[in-house]
Amino acid sequence: MPRLKSIVTNQLAASLEEELNCTIQHPVNLSSARQLHRDLLSVEKSQRMAEFFSLLGDANRLRLLSALAVQELCVCDLAAAVKMTESAVSHQLRALRAMRLVSYRKQGRNVFYCLKDSHILNLYREVAEHLDEDE
């Protein structure tokens, strides 16, 4: 296995030397490039992150998240708050649940939704704050 790692490292160095031709013609810092390569997202994780951000690319889902950032709500209250049908809200919540952005709890026959955890709340707040800075 160490030999395989050495071969892969050597191939990476050769690839970097061949492919990285800086347009201003200065030598590529291979040490920095190798370090950066080790710190890059894996293809799998970058794909999962792209799916995550793609899911957030829908204004209705973001409005649902904004309501849930304030308080836990049932589907009918969410639908009234964002002026959507309960069916449409349920459809969007299903997608948000699948990506683990929201969770739910049952209380008798009622189902209440909330943001999954503080990471989601913080992400929502950070993006909203960032956008407010530009105004």
Task: Pick the more confident residue, 1 or 129.
Answer: 129
The model's pTM: 0.71
Asked if the model's pLDDT at residue 5 lies above 80, the reply is: no
- Please state, in angstroms and rounded to a whole number, the distance separating the CA atoms of residues 97 and 118: 15
13 — pLDDT class (breaks 50, 70, 90): low
- Please state, in angstroms and rounded to a whole number, the distance separating the CA atoms of residues 100 and 115: 9
Taking only the tens place, the pLDDT of each residue in 58-95 is 999 999 999 999 999 999 999 999 999 999 999 999 99
- Please state, in angstroms and rounded to a whole number, the distance separating the CA atoms of residues 34 and 12: 8
